[in-house]
Amino acid sequence: MNKASEAILALKPVTFRYKHELDPKGIPQFGLVAEQVEKVNPDLVARDADGKAYTVRYQAVNAMLLNEFLKEHRTVQDLEATVAQQQMDFQKQIQALTTRLNAQESQLRRVSEQVQESKLARQLVADSQ
Protein backbone atom coordinates (compact mmCIF):
# COMPACT_ATOMS: atom_id res chain seq x y z
CA MET A 1 0.00 0.00 0.00
CA ASN A 2 2.94 2.30 0.82
CA LYS A 3 2.09 5.81 -0.41
CA ALA A 4 -1.40 4.97 -1.71
CA SER A 5 -2.74 5.26 1.84
CA GLU A 6 -1.60 8.89 2.04
CA ALA A 7 -4.78 9.81 0.16
CA ILE A 8 -6.72 9.46 3.40
CA LEU A 9 -4.83 12.44 4.80
CA ALA A 10 -6.89 14.61 2.46
CA LEU A 11 -10.21 13.26 3.73
CA LYS A 12 -12.34 15.53 5.89
CA PRO A 13 -14.44 13.74 8.52
CA VAL A 14 -17.85 15.25 9.23
CA THR A 15 -20.64 14.97 11.73
CA PHE A 16 -24.18 14.71 10.43
CA ARG A 17 -27.65 13.50 11.26
CA TYR A 18 -29.79 11.24 9.12
CA LYS A 19 -33.09 12.55 7.83
CA HIS A 20 -35.92 12.32 10.34
CA GLU A 21 -37.53 9.48 8.37
CA LEU A 22 -34.39 7.36 8.78
CA ASP A 23 -33.53 8.34 12.35
CA PRO A 24 -36.34 10.05 14.28
CA LYS A 25 -34.02 10.58 17.29
CA GLY A 26 -31.50 12.52 15.20
CA ILE A 27 -28.47 10.83 16.77
CA PRO A 28 -25.23 12.51 15.64
CA GLN A 29 -23.26 10.41 13.18
CA PHE A 30 -19.61 10.59 12.19
CA GLY A 31 -18.22 9.77 8.80
CA LEU A 32 -17.20 10.97 5.37
CA VAL A 33 -19.15 12.45 2.49
CA ALA A 34 -18.99 10.03 -0.45
CA GLU A 35 -18.79 12.83 -3.05
CA GLN A 36 -15.82 14.40 -1.26
CA VAL A 37 -14.10 11.03 -0.85
CA GLU A 38 -14.62 10.34 -4.55
CA LYS A 39 -12.63 13.50 -5.40
CA VAL A 40 -9.73 12.31 -3.24
CA ASN A 41 -9.75 8.68 -4.38
CA PRO A 42 -12.55 7.28 -6.56
CA ASP A 43 -11.69 3.73 -5.48
CA LEU A 44 -12.85 4.50 -1.94
CA VAL A 45 -16.53 4.80 -2.84
CA ALA A 46 -19.21 2.34 -3.88
CA ARG A 47 -21.39 3.28 -6.83
CA ASP A 48 -25.03 2.75 -7.64
CA ALA A 49 -26.36 1.34 -10.90
CA ASP A 50 -25.97 4.77 -12.53
CA GLY A 51 -22.30 4.96 -11.52
CA LYS A 52 -22.95 7.66 -8.93
CA ALA A 53 -21.02 7.46 -5.63
CA TYR A 54 -23.48 6.62 -2.88
CA THR A 55 -21.37 5.39 0.05
CA VAL A 56 -17.83 5.22 1.33
CA ARG A 57 -15.98 1.90 1.34
CA TYR A 58 -15.00 2.24 5.01
CA GLN A 59 -13.23 -1.14 5.05
CA ALA A 60 -10.75 0.28 2.51
CA VAL A 61 -10.45 3.53 4.48
CA ASN A 62 -9.78 1.52 7.64
CA ALA A 63 -7.00 -0.44 5.95
CA MET A 64 -5.45 2.80 4.72
CA LEU A 65 -5.73 4.29 8.20
CA LEU A 66 -3.96 1.27 9.63
CA ASN A 67 -1.18 1.61 7.06
CA GLU A 68 -0.71 5.30 7.88
CA PHE A 69 -0.79 4.54 11.61
CA LEU A 70 1.89 1.87 11.19
CA LYS A 71 4.08 4.25 9.18
CA GLU A 72 3.74 6.91 11.88
CA HIS A 73 4.37 4.33 14.58
CA ARG A 74 7.64 3.32 12.90
CA THR A 75 8.60 6.99 12.66
CA VAL A 76 7.92 7.46 16.37
CA GLN A 77 9.97 4.37 17.21
CA ASP A 78 12.86 5.65 15.09
CA LEU A 79 12.65 9.06 16.75
CA GLU A 80 12.55 7.49 20.21
CA ALA A 81 15.64 5.43 19.37
CA THR A 82 17.38 8.57 18.10
CA VAL A 83 16.51 10.48 21.28
CA ALA A 84 17.70 7.58 23.44
CA GLN A 85 21.01 7.47 21.54
CA GLN A 86 21.41 11.24 21.83
CA GLN A 87 20.75 11.05 25.56
CA MET A 88 23.41 8.36 25.93
CA ASP A 89 25.86 10.41 23.85
CA PHE A 90 25.05 13.49 25.93
CA GLN A 91 25.66 11.60 29.17
CA LYS A 92 29.01 10.35 27.83
CA GLN A 93 29.97 13.91 26.91
CA ILE A 94 28.98 15.15 30.36
CA GLN A 95 31.10 12.43 31.95
CA ALA A 96 34.06 13.27 29.71
CA LEU A 97 33.72 16.99 30.48
CA THR A 98 33.38 16.29 34.19
CA THR A 99 36.54 14.19 34.07
CA ARG A 100 38.39 16.99 32.23
CA LEU A 101 37.12 19.62 34.66
CA ASN A 102 38.20 17.53 37.62
CA ALA A 103 41.65 17.07 36.08
CA GLN A 104 41.93 20.81 35.40
CA GLU A 105 40.76 21.61 38.93
CA SER A 106 43.43 19.27 40.26
CA GLN A 107 46.10 20.95 38.10
CA LEU A 108 44.97 24.40 39.22
CA ARG A 109 45.16 23.30 42.84
CA ARG A 110 48.74 22.05 42.31
CA VAL A 111 49.75 25.25 40.52
CA SER A 112 48.14 27.32 43.27
CA GLU A 113 49.99 25.30 45.92
CA GLN A 114 53.26 25.80 44.02
CA VAL A 115 52.62 29.55 43.81
CA GLN A 116 51.91 29.65 47.53
CA GLU A 117 55.07 27.65 48.27
CA SER A 118 57.04 29.99 46.01
CA LYS A 119 55.64 33.05 47.84
CA LEU A 120 56.47 31.47 51.19
CA ALA A 121 59.98 30.63 50.03
CA ARG A 122 60.54 34.22 48.82
CA GLN A 123 59.17 35.58 52.04
CA LEU A 124 61.44 33.30 54.07
CA VAL A 125 64.43 34.42 52.01
CA ALA A 126 63.40 38.05 52.40
CA ASP A 127 62.92 37.63 56.14
CA SER A 128 66.26 35.91 56.57
CA GLN A 129 68.18 38.72 54.88
Query: First and final CA of the chain: distance in angstroms?
Result: 96
Q: What is the pLDDT of residue 1?
A: 85
Determine the longest span between alpha carbons in the chain, in angstroms: 121
The answer to the question of residue 90 being in a domain is: yes
Domain that includes residue 21, residue range: 2-102
Domain of residue 61, CATH code: 1.10.10
pTM attached to this predicted model: 0.70
Q: Are 39 and 51 in contact (CB under 8 A)?
A: no
The count of domains in the chain is 1
Asked if the structure places residue 30 within a domain, the reply is yes
The amino acid at residue 96 is A
Q: In degrees, to the nearest 5, what angle opens at C-alpha 78 toward C-alphas 74 and 82?
A: 170
- Cβ contact 53:39 at 8 Å: no
Q: So what's the pLDDT on residue 125? A: 76
Whether residue 124 has pLDDT greater than 80: no
Q: What percent of the chain has pLDDT over 90?
A: 88
Quick check: 45 and 53 in contact, CB under 8 A?
yes
Please check whether residue 70 lies inside any domain of the structure: yes
**Predicted local distance difference test score (pLDDT) of residue 22:** 93
Stronger pLDDT, 85 or 1, i.e. the higher one: 85
Residue 32 three-state SS: coil
Give the tens place of pLDDT for each residue, 21-60. Answer: 999 999 999 999 999 999 999 999 999 999 999 999 999 9
Q: Is 36 exposed, middle or buried (0-12, 13-18, 19+ CB in 10 A)?
A: middle
